[in-house]
Amino acid sequence: MKLTRLGIGTYLGNLSETTSQNMQKTLHEAVTTHHLNVIDTAINYRCQLSERTIGKLISSLQQSRSTLYISTKGGFIPFDQTVPKSVSEYVNQSFMKPLNLTTQDIHDHCHSIHPTYLKWSFEQSLRNLNTPYVDCYFIHNPEFALTFMTRTEWEKRLLDCFAWLESEVTQGRCRMYGIATWQGLRVAPKNPQYIDLHTLWHKAQTLGYTNLRALQLPFNIHLNEFITLKNQRHLQSPRWWLTPNEWIREHDITTFTSAPFLEGQLITHFQDITEMAHTPDSLTPAQHLLDWVLANGNQTTTLVGTTSLNHLKEAVSRIPLKN
């Protein structure tokens, strides 16, 4: 399947039924009218409501499930529809006790890359999404765990997760898997949260893990390390340093970039700049920002989060100019 240059993210929004309905309408419009085929989510987004909204969309569509590319993530502990009064009690009763996990496995009551937890998360995502498989499963912000374990322990834990995900690919319940990170690819190698793609990919390939083929990270005019920070070693020549953008181009990685508007913060900032400059412009701030992301970088798909039909049309209007 050829993935569309624009995809829909489902992170933003409150927990109301109105937001879920608006999200479903926007997703339906994106898929059926604008023919976008990438939808990204995570089990913790909107307390599992985003995944369940996508599940309702899948049930309502006339087209085949195979025409969509759906990715989700596991790592952060999800609430269930509402935020509990006591997070620690909720995590203990819902995850630690039934899954036989400890505080060394679930960090800060909010995150885990333990295979036992991720297996639960994967199964729950399939139920929420109402689908027998996902096209890509991301381990969500794995760098968070580096605060609580050594890098050697962390790498072993990830490789254990990769081994399990390879089995899910074999069973047909996952097409590929990868890492979705917020900080890990945007910091220097000496930073405690740095992710070394060279080491992870080399060890995975050595073990025969061939379906580790995807990355997701933020990329916008402000968070621009994807194309500016040379923090990744070349797989064949470790003395060469590449930007993450150059690295994925060299290694044919399916890559999704998120947060082109930084949750709307950049739109407000851009609006202030244009008003100060008194320059009339036919493009909106969002369109300018999206143009910049689409013109800079080798990402497969840029994810835009929206529950507004007007915002969707605003974003989609830029795609023909950038193909």
Task: Return phi, psi of residue 318, to 5°.
Answer: -85, -15
Mean pLDDT, rounded, for 106-131? 98
What is the maximal distance between C-alpha atoms in the chain? 61
Mean pLDDT, rounded, for 22-27? 96
Of 135, 131, 119, the C-alpha closest to 57 is 131
Cβ burial, residue 109 (10 Å; 0-12/13-18/19+): middle
Of 23, 28, 21, the C-alpha closest to 10 is 23
pLDDT, position 271: 65
Under the banding of pLDDT at 50, 70 and 90, the label for residue 265 is confident
- Asked if the model's pLDDT at residue 180 lies above 60, the reply is yes
pLDDT, position 283: 84
Under the banding of pLDDT at 50, 70 and 90, the label for residue 323 is very low
pLDDT, position 32: 95
pLDDT, position 269: 75
Whole-prediction pTM: 0.94
- Asked if the model's pLDDT at residue 181 lies above 90, the reply is yes
pLDDT, position 281: 66
Under the banding of pLDDT at 50, 70 and 90, the label for residue 234 is confident
- Asked if the model's pLDDT at residue 279 lies above 60, the reply is no
Mean pLDDT, rounded, for 119-143? 98
- Asked if the model's pLDDT at residue 51 lies above 80, the reply is yes
Q: In whole angstroms, what is the distance from residue 167 CA to residue 210 CA? A: 11
For the chain, the average pLDDT equals: 93
Mean pLDDT, rounded, for 199-208? 95
**Residue 243, amino acid:** T
Q: In whole angstroms, what is the distance from residue 59 CA to residue 53 CA? A: 10
Q: For a pLDDT cut of 70, what percent of the chain falls above it?
A: 94
pLDDT, position 322: 47
Task: Return phi, psi of residue 238, to 5°.
Answer: -60, -15
Residues 206-228 pLDDT 10s: 999 999 999 999 999 999 999 99
Of 197, 302, 212, 194, the C-alpha closest to 246 is 197
CATH 1.10.10.10 is right for the domain spanning 6-322? no
Q: Sign of dihedral through CA atoms 137, 97, 91, 109?
A: negative
pLDDT, position 240: 84
For residues 164 and 278, the model is more confident at 164
pLDDT, position 209: 98
For residues 87 and 270, the model is more confident at 87
Mean pLDDT, rounded, for 258-271? 84
- The token duo for 116 is 């036992």
- The token duo for 277 is 């400059």
H or E element, residue 233: strand 232-233
Under the banding of pLDDT at 50, 70 and 90, the label for residue 272 is low
Tokens 């470790």 locate to 238
- The token duo for 88 is 């620690």
Task: Tell me if residue 7 falls in helix, strand or coil.
Answer: strand
Helix then strand then coil, % of the chain, to nearest 5: 45, 15, 40
